[in-house]
Amino acid sequence: MARAVPAVAQRQTQGSRAAADAPSAVRIPESRRLHPTARRILEAAKRILIERGYRGLTTQAIATESGVNKAGVWYYYGGKEQLVLALLEEVAIAESHHFGVRPTADATLDERIDLIVGSAEQVRARVDRFAAFYELLPEASRDAELREHLMTYYRGWYEWASEVLVPPGGDHEARSGAPATLGQFASILLDGIFMQMIVAAPGFDLDAALAHARETLRYLLRPASSAPGRLPGRSPEPGRAPSRASSPR
């Protein structure tokens, strides 16, 4: 990826590099304003990535799909490598529609959790929009530069989610004792749910999965000094009195 990039492509991808290099930029995403031709190329590349996978994302295929010749693809993006980085920003940030949003100061815990987890309808929409993002994940394991951009995105997401769940300066101490890691754990929960939906796992219950994700985060975010409650998804056996660890909150 050390190939020189044309001046126009450098200008077009400047926003992508800034977002990747600076976590603060990633945390507050803004859609980039692209030339209409550059936008058409990017949308064509995204369709190809979703429909044919990374291997099908050739410069020729992009040119055919977008109606822009290969010289035009090079002019705006400097080739496939820089276009892939622009795609990563597009599908991971610009299409997120919720990443970077801050709750109001008086938002309840449930409202904060809902912003991270979302409803079943919102999650289905996110999975549809993020199909291209998950196509890039295997490639990121083989490409150092793409992997670094991806990790920068995730670091920004962790920080944002932690601030949503545990606002800075609050007098609230999470049960986990490590608020900074809650964003990482939320990412694990949601990525697992998204992957189940992408592979169409038989019998997967999205509503139940989201309910368990909310309950788990709610449990971890209760003050450590509060009375212990039952673990998510656990209930006493029929005819047996609940123990202290499983008593209702």
pLDDT digits (tens, 9 = 90+) for 216-234: 999 988 765 554 555 444 4
Q: What is the pTM of this model?
A: 0.68
Alpha carbons within 13 A on the beta-carbon side of 208 = 5
**Calculated CA dihedral for residues 10, 30, 158, 153, nearest 10 degrees:** -20
Count the Cβ atoms, other than its own, within 10 Å of residue 186.
23
User: CA 41, CA 194: separation in Å to the nearest integer?
Assistant: 27
User: CA 138, CA 142: separation in Å to the nearest integer?
Assistant: 7
Q: What is the pLDDT of residues 64-120, one digit of tens each?
A: 999 999 999 999 988 788 888 888 887 777 666 677 788 888 899 999 999 999 899
Percent of the chain with pLDDT over 70: 69
SS3 at position 174: strand
Per-residue model confidence (pLDDT) at position 177: 52
C-alpha 91: how far from its chain's center? 9
Asked if the model's pLDDT at residue 13 lies above 60, the reply is no
Per-residue model confidence (pLDDT) at position 226: 53
Per-residue model confidence (pLDDT) at position 8: 39
The dihedral sign for the CA sequence 131, 137, 83, 9: positive
Q: What is the pLDDT of residues 158-178, one digit of tens each?
A: 989 988 988 765 545 544 456
Per-residue model confidence (pLDDT) at position 94: 67
User: CA 16, CA 201: separation in Å to the nearest integer?
Assistant: 34
Strand runs (DSSP E) across 165-248, as ranges?
Answer: none
Comparing 155 with 238, which gets the higher pLDDT? 155
User: How do the domains of the chain map onto residue ranges?
Assistant: 7-221
CATH superfamily of 7-221: Tetracycline Repressor, domain 2 (1.10.357.10)
Strand partners, 223: 174
